[in-house]
Structure 1
Amino acid sequence: MLVGCLGEQSPLLPAGTSDEIAPRIGTAQRATDQEHQRLLAAFGGEYRAPRARAALDEVVQRLAKAGDGQIGHYEITILNSPVVNAFALPNGRLYVTRGLLVLANDTSEIASVLAHEIAHVTARHAVERAEKEAESALVSQVVSQVLKDPSRGAAVRAGSKLSLARFSRQQELTADQISVRNIARAGYDPYGASRFLATLGRNTAFRNSGQNQSADDKRLDILSSHPQTPERIAAVTAAARQIAAPGIGERDSGRWLNAIEGLPYGEDPRDGVVRGRRYLNSTLRIAFAAPEGFSLEAAQDMVIGVSANGAQALRFDSVTLKAGQTLESYVAAGWIEGVETTGIEKVEIGGQPAVIAHGKGTDWTFRLAAVQVGERVYRFILAARGTSDPERPMRSIVDSFRTLSPAEAQSVRPMQIRLVAAQADDTIASMAERMPEQDRPGELFQLLNGLDRNAALTPGQRYKVVAE
């Protein structure tokens, strides 16, 4: 029942019931407060940003006025997540992540996102999708249970998935077309949709290249529920050209930049922050560094790391031991299903009691470490493909682990979006120097500001940078 449209998708939420907020839908398709709470839990909760929220509300009101009554009442929630995404529930709840907000460079771009989500609701796409899925499930059940033909059942299931993918793909393109028309009626620049989609594509390429993977390596397969970005850009550009040539409609970049200045960039400080290969958590008062060549990403309750070649992966989290349980017995019991833990060694890490061990799975070799600080146990899992033993990189991790002093913990501050007016001699490189803690700061500066590689900066114009 959740319609996710951009970037990093989350699983679909189950259907339920609730009071209607927007266009009438059947009882089986009504979203519930429980689904709303699950979304908040999955995406870090609600982030309260009065200026950004006011700007979003104004955009929706203008879209509603231009929609001649076709657009009902919508409630917007800003999700406290660095991922880039936007959603709509069939009852009219709209969601945008703060990660998406900081990528937009003017009001017309964010208007295209909201108009796209509203189009999904007014076009009843979630309802149609649910009906199609029910039909597909019924066909598969008949084939597998009535015809008793497993091979035929597999073929039907594959065909059903393909038809669902094409159906959803068409929904996305339809929502794009509707959104371009609606933002133009509301007085916004209809080309804002193509600019923002281009930024989304560049954001995906930026993230993928951080793991030595090009955008081409991440091509959407034929079962994807979303068209590839170039196809969508071409479609919305053609739709905008049918309305007018470039240069019409409102952008109001100054208003939008003012609305998002000060928004956090990246992880919520409550989950810890990543500074290059370092992870610091002011709440837990701990820090460690990933091995050379690793990229880290902090999420709620854990940290994930991946090596540049993708051959090694790191996970860090914490647990509490049961009463009477020792570190050695906990590690010996094995916390990874299907992995035999051996070579358990009692050591000291960062001045704290700890245990290290190694394990072997079917396709991966593991190094494990558990550090006890008070009642909490911090766990490191380092996995390497095949039979290569990741002992050396694990040693570098545990050697870097330490507890933070109160002063150090207090000094850990979140990164935020700041606006800097360009001087006459400023370049992309000089602006990037303002973001020394960021990975590939030059590329990030271009991405955040929608700039080409060799673009010249306009003196006096404000640009987004990431700073404490």
Structure 2
Amino acid sequence: MTPNPGRRIAIGMALLVALSGCGAQLATPAGEASAGAEAAAEVEKAIGLVEAPALASYLDEIGQRLVTSSPDVRRDIEYQFLIVDMPEPNAFALPGGKVYVSRGLLALLNGEDELANAVAHEIAHVSARHHLKTAMQQTPFVPVRLATGLAAGVLELAMLPLGGLAAPIRPIESGVALLGAAPGALYLASYSRGQESEADELGQKFAAAAGWDPAAMSRVMEALTRDQRLHGSDPNRQSFFATHPSTPDREQRTRQRAAGLTRGDPPAFARDRAHFIAALDGLLVGDSAKGGVVDGNQFLHADLDFQIAFPGGWKVENGANNVSAIPADAKPDSAAPFATLGIAAEGDDPEAVAKALLAKSRFEPDRAVVPVSLGALHAARVEGRDRSTRTVYRATVNWIAYHGLVFQVIAAAPENDYAKYRARLAGVAESFRPLAQANRARVVEARLRLVESRRGETLAALLERKPGAWKLPAAAAANGLPEGTVFDAARPVKNALWERYPRD
């Protein structure tokens, strides 16, 4: 799997690219291709693609059949179908014909007909030129969202490595972003209800013409609805229905429309459910451990061989380029204390890195950078303040040399509260050390595995027999089953089982 720093994009959302005059640019095939290529580069840099050649080939086979089976599909562009490394169930299309399906959506679906309908829906958005219509109505941009209530100069110091030093940061991959969306997270705008309705109608026609059951679109909607209910109003999760306007009768309308459509001959490569879900075996579920894992108040990174602890009772989040923590009871838009860890540069000279970064920052050091030792590790430290916002922040910043990288730890609080938090903030950098052997076993990730049910066994009993990351509601939704299911015969059931990282 490639890195997964990107966040929560829902099926059918239109990517808005950071281009001036984007609407006009999309009006020509050449301009559309150029805008799409730029957007694709952002997607693949910020989110990444799943490295699963057989599954990717299968998805492309489905997509290409959809494109060639209906005369209503646009043919003036080249379509590509890719699996994006996102844990949420979603899919989206870019100008120029690139269609992305998330691994989260694949894990949620239970048949080839469902996948074909989801892909056909995205092809419909491209064929109907919804990107152009959306771009003409909205200001396109790819924003960087930062935690609210934090001083700008301190954040500037934290964010500087994300610019010119982007390449050295790459090893940490899904490291630490300030709370909220990860830096560089892609902004995707919602289609209108009218565009969604048109894409539903066209997509079902495309699916039927290619030989798949158009009624499966209603099952896709049902699966997404169940997933949405499971996650409630998570503010960090761009849900399907928050950005993809729906109506109460949408599932019913898709079923009724399907009844009036004539299906073409099924594709020669068509798979039944058992073979479809078998193709998903081993798919990563949830966040990847490749970018490290949060374990209570600790952050553990197996590949980079380190661990660090944040204050107890703080909320720790693992984002795109840094790990951050704030008190769990911090109020939105308040001036809260925080601590972040990131990678500042490659090398073994923390003092030189510190001086170079400080020269570019509005952060006001009390005095010059001083060399310090954190256990056996060589480090550099500076204390100072940020006066750039109404709330003045004080911060201690440590740069730590370890295994050819210089890590940066910022621990800060509003100046009036700094004395109260000083000891806890100082403990963050002091806790940085090589990954303890006992903690290596705690670096795990969930992967989709097929578990054979037993006749007369309930779904709940199966999960007790083979426990994993999914509780009963999530396992039921992933398998398209009622929570009270009793199996009348043995059958393969999708489960998300914890596995140690890295795998042998």
Query: Which residue number in structure 1 is paired with residue 112 of structure 2?
Result: 107
Equivalent in the alignment of 1:181: 205
1:420 corresponds, among 451, 454, 461, to 451
2:219 aligned partner: 195
Residue 8 of structure 1 contacts residue 83 of structure 1 at CA under 8 Å; is this kept in 2? no
Question: 2:281, 2:449 within 8 Å by CA — same for their partners in 1?
Answer: yes
**1:464 paired to 2:498:** no
Distance 1:418 1:188 in 2: 26
- Give the match for residue 287 of structure 2: 267
Query: What amino acid is the match of 2:221?
Result: L
Match of 2:274 in 1: 254
Quick check: 1:370 aligned with 2:398? yes
Query: Which structure 2 residues correspond to residues 417-456 of structure 1 after superposition, within 5 A?
Result: 417-423=448-454, 424-428=456-460, 431=463, 434-435=466-467, 438=469, 441-456=471-486
Paired with 2:30 and 2:58, the residues of 1 have a C-alpha distance of 32
What TM-score results when the alignment is normalised by the length of structure 2?
0.65
1:320 aligns with 2:340: no
1:34-71: CA deviation from partner (whole Å, max 9, x where unpaired): 44333211212x32313322331232244235424635
Equivalent of 2:250, from 215, 221, 235? 235
Match of 1:170 in 2: 194
1:43 corresponding residue in structure 2:
47
**Structure 1 CA distance for aligned equivalents of residues 466 and 249 of structure 2:** 35
SS of corresponding position for 1:326: helix
Shift of 1:277: 5.3
Which amino acid letter does the alignment assign opposite residue 51 of structure 1?
A
* Residue number among 60, 63, 72 corresponding to 1:60 in the alignment: 63
Q: Which residue identity does 2:400 align to in structure 1?
A: Q
For 2:244, the equivalent position in structure 1 comes to: 226
* Structure 1 stretch displaced more, 55-64 or 425-434: 425-434
CA contact (8 A) 2:322 2:341 kept: yes
Matches within 5 A, 1:294-333: 296-304=316-324, 309=329, 311=331, 315-320=340-345, 326=351, 333=358
2:81 counterpart of 1:87: no
Summarize the Cα distance change of 1:59–1:341 in structure 2 as closer, same or farther, 3 Å threshold: farther
Q: Is the 8 A contact 1:382 1:390 kept in 2?
A: no
Identify if the C-alpha distance between structure 1 residues 62 and 9 changes in structure 2 by more than 3 Å, giving closer, same or farther: closer
Name the SS for the 1:415 alignment partner. Answer: strand
**2: distance between equivalents of 1:75 and 1:269?**
28
Shift, 1:33, TM fit: 4.1
Q: How does 1:95-134 map to 2 (within 5 A)?
A: 95-133=100-138
| Distance (Å, rounded) in 1 between the aligned partners of 2:321 and 2:74 | 39
With over 3 angstroms needed to count, the CA separation of the structure-2 counterparts of 1:330 and 1:57, relative to structure 1, is same
**For the residues of structure 2 that align with 1:396 and 1:444, how far apart are their CA atoms?**
38
Contact 1:432–1:442 (CA<8 Å) still a contact in 2?
no
Closer/same/farther in 2, CA of residues 409 and 173 from structure 1, 3 Å limit: same
SS in structure 1 at match of 2:117: helix
Partner SS, residue 58 of structure 2: helix
**Paired residue type of 1:240:** R
Q: 2:259 aligns with which of 239, 244, 252?
A: 244
Amino acid at match of 2:344: V
Q: Secondary structure at the match of 2:249?
A: helix
Question: Relative contact order (alpha carbons < 8 A, sep ≥ 6): 1 or 2 greater?
Answer: 2
User: How many correspondences in the alignment?
Assistant: 416
In the other structure, the counterpart of 1:75 is 80
Confirm or deny: 8 A CA contact 2:339 2:425 kept in the other structure.
no
Q: Identity, % of aligned pairs?
A: 25
Provide the rounded CA distance (Å) in 2 between the counterparts of 1:111 and 1:306. 43
Superposition deviation, residue 292 in structure 1 = 5.2
Question: In the aligned structure 1, how far is the partner of 2:423 from the partner of 2:252?
Answer: 52
Structure 1 residue runs of 5 or longer lacking an equivalent are 17-22, 135-164
Residues 273 and 279, structure 1, Cα contact 8 Å, conserved in 2: yes
Q: Structure 2: how far apart are the matches of 1:112 and 1:81?
A: 20
1:326 to partner: Cα distance: 2.9
2:63 counterpart letter in structure 1: V
Superimposed CA distance per residue, residues 2-52 of structure 1 (whole angstroms, 9 cap, x where no aligned partner): xx9726979622469xxxxxx9944332236444333211212x3231332
Q: Secondary structure in 1 aligned to 2:192?
A: helix
Equivalence for 2:32: 29
